Amino acid sequence: MTGAAPRRIGIVVTDAYADEDPDHDTPLLLEALRARGVAAESVVWHDAGVDLGAFELLVIRSPWDYPERPAEFAAWLDRAAVATRVVNPPHTVRWNLDKRYLAELAHAGIRVVPTTYAETVDAAASAIAAHERVVVKPAVSAGARDTGLFEASDPRALALAARIIEAGGVAMVQPEVRELSEGREKALYAIGGIFTHAIAKGALLEAGGGLLGGVYQENPVLVEATDAERAFAADVLVAVAAATGDGVPLYARIDTVDSAEHGLCLLEVELVEPALNLHVAPAAIDTVVEAILAA
């Protein structure tokens, strides 16, 4: 008498990562899932030869090149949703891809960093002129692509906004938050709605445009989260569940900053492909695996 075939779960990745930004999570998840008797394997999202229907579950983890091929990624989400169960759900992923969801969360009572969503160059110019220093970025982006910190008087700020808008996008204009420039952003992680750990990443943006060191490179450090931060993260997840109608996401990274000027604010809630930084928070691995198996 033979036993039941092991569950087959795909961890959705891509096939190339920058040396300074590797995928630390997937090897740890695969090892932990296999230790539970699961037939777990990585699945390159744009590999047309993969039979998506052969998996009981697909877990989107690190398809980090999707911003370079957004139409292809949208089509993959459609195919995957028809073929099998996907987490986070494709509807939640689509909602989260455009950072204008922050305006929806703000309307629901979540404090976010003040943001103007500029659809014209004139609107961007007015928004930039309202501040001394600004961050300009696209509403659809990842990994700090096309994101810059500028003096408002620096013509490169408006030039970046114009480039985003003229390419068909929406430019987000935000005042500089001093605490972010000092590297005090804190990422709060929740698995199945339960807080697991918090990470400090350090500052990323170079004043005058571009990234510190010229490349996107996080330096994750495990840190404590205050009771207020945990409560704030829980409120964000409630608002997300209401906005998407998909319930609490399996995984979420809630990026925050505690600002003297603005208070405890949401920078973004990442529901598509956040690095969970399990290599510096190994205690969270079992929680993630349990949530995947429950899904």
pLDDT in tens, the chain (295 residues): 345 566 899 999 999 876 667 899 999 999 999 999 999 999 999 999 999 999 999 999 999 999 888 899 999 999 999 999 999 999 999 999 999 999 999 999 999 999 999 999 999 999 999 999 999 999 987 655 678 999 999 999 999 999 999 999 999 999 999 898 888 899 999 999 999 999 998 767 767 676 655 555 567 899 999 999 999 999 999 999 999 999 999 999 999 999 999 999 999 999 999 999 999 999 999 999 999 999 9
At the top level of CATH, the class of 8-96 is alpha beta
What is the C-alpha to C-alpha distance for residues 170 and 119, in angstroms, rounded to an integer? 5
Query: Could you give the count of Cα atoms lying within 13 Å of 97 in the half-sphere of its Cβ?
Result: 19
Structure tokens belonging to residue 280: 């510096």
Euclidean distance between the first and final Cα of the chain, in Å? 28
pTM > 0.85: yes or no: yes
Contacts of 103 (CB under 8 A, 6+ apart): 112, 115, 117
Asked whether the beta carbons of 131 and 175 are under 8 A apart, the reply is: yes
What is the C-alpha to C-alpha distance for residues 266 and 107, in angstroms, rounded to an integer? 13
Instruction: Output DSSP code: residue 2.
Output: P
Domain formed by 116-176, architecture: 2-Layer Sandwich (3.30)
Contacts of 109 (CB under 8 A, 6+ apart): 235, 239
Element (H, E) at 221: strand 221-223
Domain ranges of the chain: 8-96, 98-111+181-281, 116-176
Asked whether the beta carbons of 272 and 45 are under 8 A apart, the reply is: no
Q: Which fold has domain 98-111+181-281?
A: D-amino Acid Aminotransferase; Chain A, domain 1 (3.30.470)
